[in-house]
Structure 1
Amino acid sequence: MQDPQFLRPPDVLLRTVSYLLDDIVSKKDFSWTIIYDFVMDRLRSVRQDMIIQNLPVAHSICILQPIVRFHAYAAYRLCEEPQHLFDPVINTSHLQECLKRLLTMYDDCCTNNIDEDMLVRHLKDVRPEFEAMYILLNLGNSTALTRALRLPTLWRTSIVRISIDLSLNYLHNNFVRVCRMMKELQSPLLAAVTSLHLPEIRRKALKIMSTAYNCKNLTFPLETLQEILIYDDSEHIARDCEYYGLKCESNVSFIKNDFLLNKTVLSPAHVQFVDNEFSKRSISNLIL
């Protein structure tokens, strides 16, 4: 592996990443699960070549950024696929590993006072996106929040501040505000990553409401619940409520003792407002 003739130099690695995430991911004649498996395997090989050569920070950053976006996009696009076709745990592991490595390199740029003009201008445009992604991917996580709150003012742009606020509201169980802010995220990729937490958010919200609105004679309007927890339709709410033991017809009956605490969290699913945003954009351009 350390024989130089078998290692691709930085410019070749960059071209490889560009080819995979432009020509391959946009193919229409294969299932996207097959495309994902192939591209993931090739990107893992790119990362291996990159690490063995100990590439300069500037090159490593340019290679890792689209790789992180690819895994973030795949986490959402394939979230409804059966596990034998797509393993979300493995994908999330790759995503977290690449993202943490990328953030470490951002820190190295500042610590070592790298003053390459092009790199600095590039970071001003894109670093906040990945800082925000780390916060939203690890919603409510104290380590991610501590890092975000210690960021220099230069990197704490509006998208980072919104992500911090969203994570803090999640930590404080203000799930109505979390869902409202999720729809206000300007980046569809960040909204997609955050929407993967919706099953957990909805479970926690329904559990809290089972206590707060505990009453045998009163019910909660289904339309209101659909709006505040950003369900796409009332059938989806009804399925979730029944799964957790709550009675749901035209309205929801919240009874504390009915809520089934032993039920596992449901799997993520596509959300209409995110799908609408993705449909307006080229996936290759979004990732690259």
Structure 2
Amino acid sequence: MCTSYEHSASWGNPLLAGTCSQFCPPEESERRKALRRLHVLEVSPPHTEGASGCNTVPVKEFIRSGAGHVTPVPSDLRPLSVLVDAITYLITRVCERSDYPWWLVCEFVTNRLQSIRQDITYQQLTGSDVDYICQLAARFHLYAQYRLWRCPVDKFDPKLNRDHLQQCLVKLVRQGIVSYPEFEAYHLLVNLGNPHSVQHALQLSNDLRSHPCVVRALCISRSYMENNYIRWFRLVSSLSPLEQSAVLPYVSTMRRVALSIVSKAYCSRNSGIPIATMSTWLLMSDIASTAELCTMYGLEVRGDTVSIKRGAFTLPAKEPEDGLDIAHKLSPSHLILPSLIF
């Protein structure tokens, strides 16, 4: 990994260069320890090998800027090398913790990632290591979307997580200096049907636009806009786990569109569609789930066939929050920290 970086000063803004060599400024660390405000994930689990007593690893908290907020001093800011070490620690160590619910892990890591990005903004840092941090943060938010998709909203806010993801992706794809095919594809998949995202992708260089993952993402976006559900689900089935996570919010919509089209195109009194075929079309995990979904939309299931009568399709009171079975056996850090070379 390249460690080069630059400070980029804006007109009229003094340049700050961080001098804090720890994950958390000592003053904040001591204050939070005294007030007993250390997060449970900043304390080493009791079964940690070699741990003596209670080991703590504080990581700087994110505090939103606002009226009355004091401008940070260099000793409160971490230089880029420390920020890289901090995000690597969060991904490889904290994300792997299993002694607490993962929604709590996500809440903690999200806050600390905001703090890392805030330090980058205060120091106006640019360069390959800043891109590296944004890449890991984007992958983390994609993984969180998959991992906590059915988690209650009071524990995981998918909209807020998506906002953080968008901020990371925009920084990576709109900077106009270096482009990354993987993240150009994520940007398209997260913003399906958005004409600005499609236009941006079509204006990429030939080498980048012809990269397999960008070509596939463009095809998926086009299928989504055309309501071509057969092609859309077929292409989605070939995506990587994090790419499938990017399209999760669109799955329910495409299944509703598919059932609406099927209810008109295959309307018949005496015949129907094999439920196994319907399951394949909709990329469902099993026959039972397919039957339940069809029933919710007013389609009658008789044995192994979906019977479609004229006018039977109806919208449920609440759209089902169905998703995809993203099958993988990798740990969070293996999904978030793959090779960055294409």
TM superposition score category, shorter chain reference: 0.7 to 0.9
Q: Separation in 2 of the partners of 1:256 and 1:17? A: 56
**Whole-angstrom distance in 1 between the partners of 2:316 and 2:287:** 24
- Supply the distance in 2 between the matched residues of 1:258 and 1:131 (Cα, whole angstroms): 41
**TM-score between the two structures when normalised by the length of structure 2:** 0.74
How many angstroms apart in 2 are the aligned matches of 1:247 and 1:3?
Answer: 66
Q: Deviations over 1:57-107 (max 9, x none)?
A: 3232111110000001111110011112211111111111221122123x1
Letter matched to residue 246 of structure 2:
V
Name which of 195, 202, 221 aligns with 2:274: 221
Q: Give 2:205's match in structure 1, choosing from 125, 134, 152.
A: 152
Which residue in the other structure is 1:209 paired with?
262
User: Following superposition, which runs of at least 4 residues in structure 1 exceed 4 angstroms of deviation?
Assistant: none
Distance 1:76 1:66 in 2: 15
Q: Does 1:3 find its partner at 2:68?
A: no
Letter in 2 for 1:16: A
In the TM superposition, what is the alpha-carbon distance from 1:217 to its structure 2 partner?
2.7
SS at match of 2:311: helix
Which one-letter code corresponds to 1:183 in the other structure?
S
Residue of structure 2 equivalent to 1:243? 296
2:314 paired residue number: 260
Which segment drifts farther, 56-65 or 227-236?
56-65
Q: What is the CA–CA distance in structure 2 between the aligned matches of 1:154 and 1:67, rounded to whole Å? A: 26
Deviation at 1:169, TM superposition (A): 1.4
**1:165 aligned residue:** 219
Structure with bigger RCO (C-alpha 8 Å, 6+ apart): 1
CA–CA distance in 2 between the matches of 1:258 and 1:67? 45
Q: Secondary structure, in 3 states, of the residue corresponding to 2:333?
A: helix
Asked if the contact 1:17/1:43 (under 8 Å) is kept, the reply is yes
Equivalent runs, 1:259-278 vs 2, <5 Å: 259-261=313-315, 263-271=317-325, 274-275=326-327, 278=328
For the residue of structure 2 that corresponds to 1:154, the secondary structure is helix
The answer to whether residue 235 in structure 2 is matched with residue 181 in structure 1 is yes
Instruction: Show the counterpart of 2:184.
Output: 131
The aligned residue for residue 252 of structure 2 is 199
Deviation, structure 1 residue 162: 1.1
**Aligned residues: CA RMSD:** 1.6
Output the CA distance in 2 between the equivalents of 1:47 and 1:243: 43
Aligned length: 265
**Superposition deviation, residue 42 in structure 1:** 0.6
Partner of 2:51: none
Tell me the CA shift for residue 192 of structure 1.
2.6
Matching of residue 96 in structure 1 with residue 143 in structure 2: no
Unaligned stretches of 5+ residues in structure 2: 1-70, 338-342
Partner of residue 117, structure 1: none
Say whether residues 1:35 and 2:123 are aligned partners.
no
Aligned partner letter, 2:72: Q
Deviation at 1:256, TM superposition (A): 4.2
**Conserved 8 A contact 1:182-1:195:** no
Moved more, 171-180 or 251-260: 251-260
With the length of structure 1 as denominator, give the TM-score of the two structures.
Answer: 0.87
Who wins on radius of gyration, i.e. which is larger?
2
